[in-house]
Amino acid sequence: MSDASIVAARPSAATELVLLFHGVGASAANLLPLAEAIAAARPAAFVVSVEAPHPSGLGSGREWFSVLGVTEENRPQRMAAALPRFRGTVARWQRESGIGPDRTTLVGFSQGSIMSLESTQSGEPPAGRVIALAGRFAAPVRRAPAAVRYHFIHGSDDPVIAARFSVEAAEAIGRLGGSASVDLLPGLGHGVDARAAQLALGYLA
């Protein structure tokens, strides 16, 4: 890869692929501690912290789509425009690792979780598991593929993306017959703390 994505682990005989996607205004380095923790706990995992493709309109870091002037009405369109490149990025790492969608996990934080979640809403799901940290769907849940397990981890005090989005998404997936869990962490704002990291590691086990 020619981008600034960071490979945290590249085992010679990988049996699973874990891709981490950071939030807007951040970079692959921001999720590297979590990526390294996953690599240590899952020695057969090919682990990559993926760099988003565009400079952020916030003045630093990267993004998949602009959040300047974003609204509930225009977010789905912005996400949809970015989704082909996102799916292509997942597919490139699957080719490089030799791992298919059924053994791929997408771990997203904030905008990274929006992209990860929405990638399961059309076409063949690119992964068998999505772990959404402080995230949400761009639009109400439309489908719950049987092959995908969803795990929502959210700070109860998140001022950026309200925790109710995770709760509502998990409930909607359940109503559609899918598999979803939700963990709300008291006192956590818009971030990933040790509790969230441990929950994510647990869902990979």
Provide the H-helix boundaries in 42-179.
Answer: 75-97, 111-118, 164-175
Which is catalytic among the residues 56, 116, 158, 166? 158
The reply to whether 110 belongs to the active site is yes
Q: How far apart are CA 126 and CA 114, in angstroms?
A: 14
* Active-site residue, from 5, 110, 113, 119: 110
CB-based contact 43:81 (threshold 8 Å): no
Q: Are strands 179-185 and 149-155 parallel, antiparallel or unpaired?
A: parallel
Which residue, among 163, 118, 154, 156, has the nearest Cα to 137 in the 3D structure? 118
CB atoms near residue 118 (< 10 Å): 25
- Is 119 one of the catalytic residues? no
- 181, 184, 188, 191: CA torsion to nearest 10: 20
Phi, psi of 48, rounded to the nearest 5 degrees: -135, 130
Is residue 22 among the annotated active site residues? no
Q: Which residue has the tokens 């950026």?
A: 160
Active site residues: 110, 158, 190
